[in-house]
């Protein structure tokens, strides 16, 4: 029951998709701070490579860049084959890569719909599928491997913005999490989801013109999320402390969902 054992993740190997910025970077940083070897992927190669160098130097742990677009099967295969060539097992898979698309309902495009669904749902499923051999090798009854799917409170509440496909895709992520969990728990692979509220990111910033103060004011805790908030939850789920939490979608939103009756969704 000692904290240094209960939440220990040192020596593990993780992949964080969309790990070069935003929530993915925060989770990668939390892992690296605690001795995890972390692979990060992102669609743009140069920022991903630079971020891996920056995080390695900052936290004194190994962060490796594998640029890939997990919105396509070609990109998924490139990423997963590269991981398999470097590692014989994978302890943690964080399916964080995602996209949003906002348009008025009368103008909402098929292009936007397909892009978001392909990345947020299809990409998540097939990345997990292709990495199952490594997750199976890592997982034991006492120390299961872990998959965390990043959903959103927009897949729970009714969003304020016209991001129809984003909210639909994140609701799908939450249900996919439960379905995967029910199957993979028998193979010592535990699957859960996190549904974040507002965290500083380029995606959220573009929706609010990078002015987070209105979101902070509407939040019950009067702030948006930090690395400690999302990173701490990821460490909990991936450590021994999280071994009896399976198939859950855990909100990490400063109380926005609990107060959704006050129309505080973002």
Token pair for residue 140?
């034991």
Contact between residue 139 and residue 187 where contact means Cβ atoms under 8 Å apart: yes
CA 170 to chain centre: 11
Contact between residue 238 and residue 12 where contact means Cβ atoms under 8 Å apart: yes
| CA proximity to 150, closest of 230, 37, 63, 45 | 230
Contact between residue 224 and residue 199 where contact means Cβ atoms under 8 Å apart: yes
From CA 64, how far away is CA 120, in angstroms rounded? 23
* From 39, 164, 166, 236, the catalytic residue: 166
| CA proximity to 165, closest of 219, 105, 206 | 105
DSSP state of 91: S
Q: Quick check: is 236 catalytic? A: no
Residues 6+ apart with CB under 8 A from 253: 153, 195, 196, 197, 198, 225
Catalytic residues: 166
């Amino acid at each position: 029951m000692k904290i240094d054992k209960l939440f220990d993740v040192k020596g593990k190997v993780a992949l964080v998709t969309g790990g070069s910025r935003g929530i993915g970077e925060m989770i990668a940083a939390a892992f690296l701070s605690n001795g995890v070897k972390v692979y990060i992927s992102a669609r743009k190669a140069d920022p991903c490579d630079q971020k891996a160098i920056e995080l390695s130097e900052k936290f004194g742990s190994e962060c490796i860049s594998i640029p890939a677009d997990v919105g396509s099967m070609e990109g998924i295969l490139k990423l997963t084959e590269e991981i398999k060539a470097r590692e014989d097992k994978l302890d943690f898979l964080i399916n964080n890569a995602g996209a949003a698309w906002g348009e008025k309902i009368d103008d909402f495009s098929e292009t936007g719909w397909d892009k978001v669904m392909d990345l947020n749902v299809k990409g998540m499923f097939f990345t997990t599928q292709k990495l199952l051999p490594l997750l199976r090798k890592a997982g034991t009854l006492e120390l299961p491997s872990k998959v965390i799917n990043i959903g959103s409170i927009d897949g729970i509440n009714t969003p304020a913005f016209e991001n129809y496909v984003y909210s639909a895709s994140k609701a799908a992520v939450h249900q996919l999490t439960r379905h995967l969990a029910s199957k993979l728990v028998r193979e010592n692979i535990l699957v859960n989801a996190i549904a974040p509220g507002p965290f500083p990111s380029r995606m959220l910033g573009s929706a609010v013109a990078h002015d987070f103060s209105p979101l902070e004011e509407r939040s019950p805790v009067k702030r948006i999320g930090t690395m400690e908030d999302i990173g701490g939850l990821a460490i909990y789920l991936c450590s021994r402390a999280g071994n009896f939490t399976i198939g859950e979608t855990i909100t990490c939103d400063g109380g926005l969902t609990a107060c959704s009756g006050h129309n505080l969704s973002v």
